A and B are shown apart, each in its own frame.
Chain A
Amino acid sequence: MMMRKGVCISALGTAAMMAVVLLMAGSLDVAVKAQSVAPAAAEVKIDNFSFAPATLTVAVGTAVTWTNRDDIPHTVVSTDDPRAFKSKVLDTDEKFSYTFTKAGTFPYFCSVHPKMTGTVVVK
């Protein structure tokens, strides 16, 4: 019986240690990401048939989120060929996110209202 109890304690101890290791790995992982991806996120608002800011400069790895605040649907579509990104139609308050993994200049427009144009510069 004593032996069994010892085994039990030992198993619990191993589990606890593993949990600690996992937690450490988790926080290490987050710390590494935060260092290489700052700033991690940026936003573009769609208001009055225009993208604001019209030109957004971000670091490689940034996730850019567009939010449509108009009463009319819009899209966010890369003008490059082939297209780097293309959203579905965004109704009021709907969002579209795209993570820029390469440096460069990425022009885009609203394919419903092509006078609406914007650019994301990734450095």
Chain B
Amino acid sequence: MDRKTGNKNIVHDHNGDGIDRRGFLECMAWAGTGALCVMQGGVLKSFSMSRMGEFDAKKMAGELSFVQISDSHMGFNKPANPDVTGTLKAAVDKINGLATPPEFMLHTGDISHLSKPDEFDTVDQILKGASTKDVFFVPGEHDVLNDDGKQYLERYGKGTKGGGWYSFDKKGVHFIGLVNVLNLKAGGLGTLGHEQLEWMEDDVKHLKSSTPIVVFAHIPLWSVYPEWGWGTDDSSQALAYLKKFGSVTVLNGHIHQTMQKVEGNVTFHTAMSTAFPQPQPGSAPSPGPMKVPDDQLRKVLGITAVNYVRGQHALAVVDSTLG
């Protein structure tokens, strides 16, 4: 695919946020195309899925493989996808068919559409069909409706702090799950808040700078498109705590399309939804669900597989569509 031509409309910079749009475009893939991004020695390279054959599959399969899924929106039943149950099941089939079985899953929020108990139940039931039973969640704004996240915490928040943030280690990689969908302020973007930021500063203080870091949260932790609320007001403070680390990967959802940016030692990546696509930034009157022809739907939904190879200091992020 021609990424540059396909993304002309993002070149303009409304925000004056200092983001290197050129670098941003170099390694960005839109929903439905599928991209492979490999980071080695801090340099990230992007290739379309059609060139996958050029890679040694064994080298790609790292010591740690995991999968990110996002934005299941269980309960959504509008024309953009009347069968979100079916597409989530297809995502699980996709995960079970991966050449390298993932050790666990990250779900980056909007598990449910309306925070209804049966919506959460359905997702939990479908995810039980995955080859890996371990799922680490962070909430999306659709999971904390009406009760400021109480139900979410009861279901998914065991052992977490505050609104549901936590960290854990897997094979030398430090994972940090952040919550940026609570206590949102009028006119603002996603918010982490003072309490969470203090916790995070303390959480990473003791780690060696060689520790690979993976941060996951629902709303992007970089300024994707603030006009549509696609960013987090105090994310720069969180990223400041990660400056000493050589390898930082930030995985987000919320925008229902893949996008990638590299800034110094940090690679930002957003995942596709398993439910419905959303328009490219600024290309529609609003970020609402985008209706595509029925036979195209599964080409714009998908999962993200991540492989980490120790020693090579490589982190590979591979998006694949459901159809």
Interface residues of B in 239-259 (CB under 8 A from A): none
Q: Tell yes or no: A100 within 8 A of B by CB.
A: no
Cα(A50)–Cα(B229), bound, Å? 12
Interface membership of A39, Cβ < 8 A: no
Q: A109 with B187: in contact, given A48-B285, A48-B288, A49-B286 (CB under 8 Å)?
A: yes
- Complex Cα gap A111–B187 (Å): 10
A71 in contact with B78 given A111-B184, A112-B142 (CB within 8 Å): yes
Query: Which secondary structure dominates where chain B touches chain A?
Result: loop
B146 CB contacts on chain A under 8 angstroms: 88-89
Specify which chain B residues have a CB less than 8 angstroms from the CB of A112 in the assembled complex: 141-142, 145, 184
Does B44 interact with chain A (Cβ within 8 Å)? Answer: no
Please tell me which one of the listed residues A88, A89, A92, A115 contacts residue B228 in the complex, with CB atoms under 8 A apart. Answer: A115
A70 near B: Cβ within 8 Å? yes
Instruction: Flag if A73 contacts B78 (CB, 8 Å).
Output: no
CA distance in complex: A115, B287 (Å)? 12
Q: Is the CB of B186 within 8 A of A70?
A: no
CB distance from A76 to the nearest CB of B (A): 12
Could you say which of B141, B185, B289 contacts A71, with CB atoms under 8 Å apart?
Answer: B289
Q: B114 interface residue, CB < 8 Å from A?
A: yes
Task: Decide if B288 touches A114 in the complex (CB within 8 Å).
Answer: no
Known pairs A48-B286, A112-B145. 13 more at Cβ < 8 A? A49-B286, A49-B287, A49-B288, A70-B286, A71-B289, A72-B288, A73-B145, A91-B114, A109-B187, A114-B185, A114-B187, A114-B188, A115-B189
Chain A residues within 8 Å of B, Cβ to Cβ: 48-50, 70-73, 75, 79, 88-89, 91-92, 107-109, 111-115, 117
A-B contact pairs, 10 of them (CB 8 A): A48-B286, A49-B228, A70-B286, A71-B79, A71-B288, A73-B145, A89-B146, A91-B114, A115-B227, A117-B186
